[in-house]
Structure 1
């Protein structure tokens, strides 16, 4: 994944543990629940946790979406996502859904929306039945035609009556003209994951990013219980990119602590 740590799983986990990270969100392509034990052994050996299962490669690498005009492709996409849900259940973590929703074709918008809504309802029910929880990520229109803002995602969740939450991504929020701090403030309790990247470049975080203390403060005030994911370009060196983002977050936390009066 171009936005993930570029190394074999065990190596990535070891390096991230060295930097001080607590856990990883794993992006899966064809992984199933059978792989859960091996994944847990790998992370636990480095003192890490698996915090979530992402499904980005299903669409990004294999071009499988829930709104493809081909019934076979839609079926294949759903099967992959269902396997990912079962893996998430075996790991005891949430499942995230983004780009695999797909994009509309002229004249097929209504039927494609119906395909997506039916599949997402089934996926949310599958995730809940195995002890996971579906988190829908609002993404920009460059990635998907469906549910591009938090309000749109919440509206469909309510209409479908599914047990789901949100993933908020600063890159996609900003691409849609949504203020990321306001979005986090408004939706903290429904947010299972906040994905972070530098504004504009979608690169590693930088020390002095004015958004970071405000985002951390909004999460704290809202009682956030999820996880932060660094989802950004790697600039040719994943270890260095992860170190830069870690330093920026640590600096933001220190800045916020200085601003917060002692009890």
Structure 2
């Protein structure tokens, strides 16, 4: 994944533990509950925790989405997501959904919206049944045709009938001209994960990033209990990128202490 640590998992978690990270969000392509023990052992050996299961590779790598005109593709996409939800449940963590909900085609938008809504409801139910919960990520219209803002995503999760929350991503919020600090202030209580990257470049966080102190303050005041994910480009060196973002975050946190 271009926005994730570029190394095998065992190597990645070792480096991240050495840098001082507390845990990892694992992006899965085709994994289920059967893989939970091996995954947990790999990560726990470093002292880190698995904090969440992401599903981005289902669409990004295999082009499977819940809005695809092909019923077979939609079924395949949902099956992958349900497996990810079962894996998350076995690990006791949330499962996230972003671009795998898909994009609309001319003349099919109404039908595609119904397909996605039904599938997301099914995914939320499956996550809940297995001890997990769904976190829905508002994304820019460059990656999906529906639920671009936190308000739109909150409206959806209120209709699901199963426990659910938000993933907020600074890159997607900025692309939709949503103020990140304001979004966090309004939705910290329902947010399970905040994904961070440098503004404009979507690279590692720069030390002294002026957004970070007010973001951390808003999270604290809003009762946020989730995790922060550094989801950004790696600039050809994941260890250095992770170290740079770690320093930016810890410096910002220290300034608030």
Whole-angstrom distance in 1 between the partners of 2:156 and 2:224? 22
Deviates more, 1:78-87 or 1:32-41: 32-41
Q: How far apart, CA to CA, are the structure 2 residues paired with 1:49 and 1:75?
A: 31
TM-superposition CA deviations, 1:96-118 (whole Å, max 9, x none): 00000000100111100000000
Deviations 1:7-57 (A, max 9, x none): 000000000000000000000000111111011111111000000000000
1:160 CA displacement: 3.6
**For the Cα contact (< 8 Å) 1:3–1:231, is it kept in 2?**
yes
C-alpha distance in structure 1 between counterparts of 2:89 and 2:148, whole Å: 26
The total of aligned residue pairs comes to: 257
Work out the CA distance in 1 between the residues paired with 2:195 and 2:159.
25
Runs of 4+ in 1 over 4 A off after TM superposition: none
Counterpart CA distance in 1 for 2:43 and 2:156 is 35
**1:207 to 2:215 alignment:** no
Query: What are the residue-to-residue correspondences of 1:242-257 with 2, within 5 Å?
Result: 242-257=242-257
Q: Write the distance in 1 (CA, Å) between the matches of 2:108 and 2:202.
A: 32
Q: TM-score, normalising length from structure 2?
A: 0.99
Equivalent residue for 1:40? 40
1:179 deviates by 0.3
Contact in 1 for aligned 2:89/2:127 (Cα 8 Å): yes
Alignment match, 1:73 = 73
Residues 124 and 160 of structure 2 are in contact (CA less than 8 Å); yes or no, is this contact kept in structure 1?
no
Question: SS state of the match for residue 114, structure 1?
Answer: helix
Q: Is the 8 A contact 2:4 2:233 kept in 1?
A: yes
C-alpha separation in 2, matches of 1:178 and 1:147: 13
Indicate conservation of the 8 Å contact 1:117/1:160, yes or no. Answer: no
Once residues 254 and 103 of structure 2 are traced to their aligned partners in structure 1, the CA distance between those partners, rounded to angstroms, is 41
> What are structure 1's unaligned runs of at least 5 residues?
258-263
1:254 Cα deviation from its structure 2 partner:
1.5
Structure 2 equivalent of residue 142 of structure 1: 142
Q: CA deviation at 1:255?
A: 1.7
Aligned partners of 2:225, 2:65: CA distance in 1, in Å? 30
Provide the residue aligned with 2:173 in structure 1.
173
Q: Quick one: distance in 2 between partners of 1:70 and 1:49?
A: 38
Match of 2:226 in 1: 226
Compute the displacement of 1:156 (Å).
1.6
What secondary structure does 2:50 align onto?
strand
What is the deviation of 1:158? 2.0
Q: How does 1:1-263 map to 2 (within 5 A)?
A: 1-257=1-257
Distance in 1, matches of 2:159 and 2:129, equals 20
Partners of 1:12 and 1:35 in 2: CA distance: 18
SS of corresponding position for 1:195: strand
CA displacement 1:117-156 (0-9 Å, x = unmatched): 0000000000000000000000000000010000011112
Contact (CA 8 Å) 1:82, 1:126: kept in 2 or not?
Answer: yes
Gaps of 5+ in 2: none
Instruction: Report if the CA contact (8 A) 2:89-2:131 is conserved.
Output: yes
RMSD value, Cα: 0.7
Separation in 2 of the partners of 1:136 and 1:159?
Answer: 13
